[in-house]
Amino acid sequence: MHSTVLEKPSAKFDTQPPAAVNEVLGIIYGRFAGQAVCLAAKLGIADLIEGGVDSTQQLAASLGAQAHSLRRFLKALSSCQILHEAGQDRWELTDTGKLLRGDVHGSLRDLARLFATEEHTKSWLALEHAVLTGGPAFDHVWGKDAWAHAREHYEFNDVFNRAMSSIAGAVHQAIANVYDFSAVECLVDVGGGHGRLLSVILERFPDLRGIVYDMPHVAEGARAEIARRGLSERCEAVGGDFFASVPPADAYILTAVLHDWSDDECIAILKNCRRAVKPGGCVLMGDFILKPANEADFGRLIDLEMLVMTRSGCERTEEEFRALLGKADLRLACVYPLPSGNSLLEARPV
């Protein structure tokens, strides 16, 4: 009778650091948490709970959901620190979860809703196509670029523009605190969406006048936001094409705009700003500046978003920004770090 000798497992399996295993698992499973939070935003769970619909049964009735499956979903959200289970089948919002409400300062609900759309979800499932071919996943899945798709699909266009306003309110609003606009008479927000950022700046600087400049169908939504904030006398929304021209002004601001486009397209936009800016004026850009190799960098993940969702967009290093600006007869004058990890770049005419 032969005995079986079991070989000792390879040493590499014996010595894997538990911390490294947990870190990789956290990254892999992080996808589940992200999808859960985005679905919570899409369903409006935070708004329902804030409105007093705070039990599993009440939420199930409001959403047309099965209570037993919804309960599991809510418990998962509590494990992500979005909800707190206050009692048997009763739920409260944590401070983190309150950011998924639509009526709070700095709300991220609409950004999460964008990531829950079919357009965004299916495009990211085609990440492999973008990585291997260099072609945009969105175009591969939907047959056209995101801008053309948005023009033809009102619901996606609305969700997208609300998401950009969400970023302006939660992320870029710090610009109004770090930059002094007191010497500027007229500021144009190029690609300004619904005007959320410009409204915040105008409220902080009462002598400033502003123009939200975006595609005509986007500018329509900006007019409503401007009126809602009582700023119509100092601000207008103008529809146009920033590749063709921009309105004359003392200063321009472009937040999360340049990363949507190729170098040549960015240079065209910047040249239009340089051509139209009044003497002594400036061009401001709110963007991520990529960090040196091997550093933890949220901007690198946003760079993948650009790879998936745009035809030629990307995040850039400071040196790459300097090169773009130089080709538009501008120079980088100052960089203001923002609390969210991105930066405000100030450029002046050469």
- The set of catalytic residues is 259
CA distance 184 to 206: 11
Q: Which residue has the tokens 């206050």?
A: 86
Q: What DSSP letter does each residue of 33-65 carry, written as one string?
A: HHHHHHHHHHHTHHHHHHTT--BHHHHHHHHT-
Amino acid identity for residue 307 in this structure? L
Residues 6+ away with beta carbon under 8 Å from 96: 81, 82
Distance (Å, whole) CA 74 – CA 95: 16
CA atoms 323, 326, 327, 328: torsion sign: positive
Residue type for position 210: G
| Residue whose pair of structure tokens reads 């010497």 in the numeric block | 183
d(CA 78, CA 92) in angstroms, rounded, equals 9
Virtual torsion, Cα 40, 46, 51, 57, nearest 10 deg: 50
The percent of the chain in helix, strand and coil, each rounded to the nearest 5, is 50, 15, 30
Sign for the CA dihedral angle at 45, 51, 55, 60 comes to negative
Residue 344: CA atoms inside 13 Å, Cβ hemisphere, count? Answer: 20
- Looking at residue 203, its amino acid is E
Contact 218, 196 (CB under 8 A): no
Other beta carbons within 10 angstroms of residue 199's beta carbon come to 28
| Residue linked to tokens 């975006």 | 214
- The amino acid present at 325, given as its one-letter code, is L
Write out the two tokens for 41. Answer: 């935003």
Ramachandran area for residue 169 (φ above 0: left; ψ -120 to 50: alpha; else beta): alpha
